[in-house]
Amino acid sequence: MSMSKETATTIGIREELLRRFIESGERERLQEILRSKLQASGWQDRVKDRCQKFVNENSKDIDKITVDDMAEEVTPFARSSVPEDIKAEIMEDVRSFIYRALPETDA
Give the tens place of pLDDT for each residue, 21-59: 999 999 999 999 999 999 999 999 999 999 999 999 998
Task: Please tell me the pTM assigned to this model.
Answer: 0.77
Contact 31, 90 (CB under 8 A): no
Contact 101, 20 (CB under 8 A): yes
Contact 47, 77 (CB under 8 A): yes
For the packed helices 43-57 and 26-41, what is the interaxial angle rounded to 10 degrees?
70
Question: What average pLDDT does this structure show over 75-93?
Answer: 97
What pLDDT was estimated at residue 105? 54
Over the stretch 2-29, which tens digit does the pLDDT of each residue have?
Answer: 567 778 788 888 899 999 999 999 999 9
* Least confident interval from 44-53, 55-64, 70-79, 88-97: 55-64
Q: Look at residue 105 and give its three-state secondary structure.
A: coil
Please provide the size of the chain in residues: 107
Dihedral sign of CA atoms 53, 69, 38, 77 in order: negative
What pLDDT was estimated at residue 12? 87
